[in-house]
Structure 1
């Protein structure tokens, strides 16, 4: 009877590994995108976004750029995936936590980076003028969960 336990346990573990795996990502395609070919989309608040690689709503790596107008604030929120963000121009103020607290923000000038671990609450402010930054995420699908003020 003990001899049967090992093969059965092995089959169960294999089934869990196959059935429980996350959706498979599409392989990253070789891409060359000149700066003049970047297509920007806007919203009524003046925020513009340019999708560079992949799709944050699908499994796999993605990258996009965001342009904030001066004085644009983003209230506390988090994402279900890890991200690495690079400031390409301007100075962006970034804070971590569930409450927007300007005194807790750090000024990140052009060339600076910050990381966003999974579900890390954060908030940002383009306090001094227009800011452009690039987001790279390696494990979509992604999304935004806003944190309601208490």
Structure 2
């Protein structure tokens, strides 16, 4: 009797899990060589000087996004937050990441090539590189970035 009840309960749960996984499964496969990436200017909310490439997804639309950001030596991103979780992998160079409302280079953690960070949604953080870095970002679109201090937003200073 208990085995029959277990089967009757487990089957609908399994069906729901499969249906949920199907909703998040990619609709296509993607194989891309690094040489094939199309690097361009970063989104307007990031300072000039970096290069940006979208590997998969649309940063302006809802859904999974994978992108890369190549930052020159001395590049920094002032304290900010995102509406969704941000996953960062350091592909080359070193990236320093700190938490809080003030860019404090003495309280940041430096990640070397292969380093990984996850910053949950709405957590105030900042990043900088002394030597240059290329990072890969995994996030949920639409991509959003809000600076703690609006005066730090390069897209706002460009409008003035």
Instruction: Indicate the TM-score class for this superposition, using the shorter chain for normalisation.
Output: 0.7 to 0.9
Residue equivalent to 1:105 = 108
How far did 1:26 drift? Answer: 9.3
Q: Which secondary structure state, in structure 1, belongs to the residue aligned with residue 79 of structure 2?
A: strand
Q: Which of 28, 46, 50 is equivalent to 1:47?
A: 50
Displaced runs of 4 or more, over 6 A: none
Q: Which has more helix, going by share of residues?
A: 2
Residue equivalent to 1:30 = 29
**Structure 2 length as normaliser, TM-score?**
0.72
User: Is the CA contact 1:25–1:59 (under 8 Å) kept in the aligned structure 2?
Assistant: no
User: Is the CA contact 1:26–1:60 (under 8 Å) kept in the aligned structure 2?
Assistant: no
**Structure 1 length as normaliser, TM-score?**
0.76
Q: Distance in 2 between matches of 1:60 and 1:135?
A: 14
How far did 1:35 drift? Answer: 1.2
How far did 1:45 drift? Answer: 2.6
Q: Which of 90, 93, 96 is equivalent to 1:87?
A: 90
Residue equivalent to 1:21 = none
> Which consecutive residues of structure 1, in runs of 5 or more, have no partner in the other structure?
1-23
> Which consecutive residues of structure 2, in runs of 5 or more, have no partner in the other structure?
1-22, 151-160
How far did 1:140 drift? Answer: 1.8
Matched positions, count: 125
